[in-house]
Amino acid sequence: MTDQTDQQEAPKIASPADLFAVAYQIEVDAVERYQILAGQMDSHNNPELAAVFRDLARAEGIHAAEIRRLAGGIDVEARARQVAKWNKGDSPESADLGGAHYLMTRAEALQMALAGEERALAYFTHVFASLADEKMKAIAKTFIEEESEHVELCHRLIRKYQDADAKAAADPDPAISQG
């Protein structure tokens, strides 16, 4: 999905079940993408970055489980298979595999995560604005709040890792794995 989050390509939300299902699928897609990226970093012998992507996958998995809990008796997995399809591209929170490379820093990896969180926030903000039903607006608002927290977390982690990554890159004699 583009940075502009093309809403015409997004699933249509017609019920609370749809909203929960789409939110759930967004998180599941993010988990899958981060797991792929972690595996790529493992294959390039970059365990530190693999750990960052695994942490991101774990956080998204926790959010998916929370959505399932909030949905109550709704089978979000089955409903997602029916309604949570983007006509073009990926769901908003899926990290761009094309942006990954084996020498990327933690801050760069978190920039990828930030872009996905911002797309998800834009998506739920659009959904919220398009809804008339107050119950559904309340559900969408919880997703906006959650994605806003994720955006802020990414910003904090990027600031934390930028300095550490810059110091590591400036090391004239970087550590070499002895394994």
Domain assignment of residue 134, given as a range: 12-169
- For helices 134-170 and 106-130, give the axis angle rounded to 10 degrees: 170
Would residue 63 count as lying in a domain? yes
Would residue 65 count as lying in a domain? yes
If you ran DSSP here, which 8-state letter would residue 98 be given?
Answer: G
Would residue 128 count as lying in a domain? yes
Would residue 3 count as lying in a domain? no
Would residue 60 count as lying in a domain? yes
pLDDT tens figures, 63-95: 999 999 999 999 999 999 999 888 777 888 888
- Domains in the chain: how many in total? 1
Would residue 17 count as lying in a domain? yes
- pLDDT at position 175 over 70: no
pLDDT tens figures, 112-153: 889 999 999 999 999 999 999 999 999 999 999 999 999 998
Provide the pLDDT for residue 1.
Answer: 39
CB contact burial 145-166 (16+ within 10 A = b; e otherwise): ebbbebbeebeebbeebbeebe
> Tokens 């908003």 map to which residue?
92
Is residue 3 very low, low, confident or very high in pLDDT (cuts 50, 70, 90)?
very low
CATH code of the domain in which 153 resides = 1.20.1260.10
Would residue 42 count as lying in a domain? yes
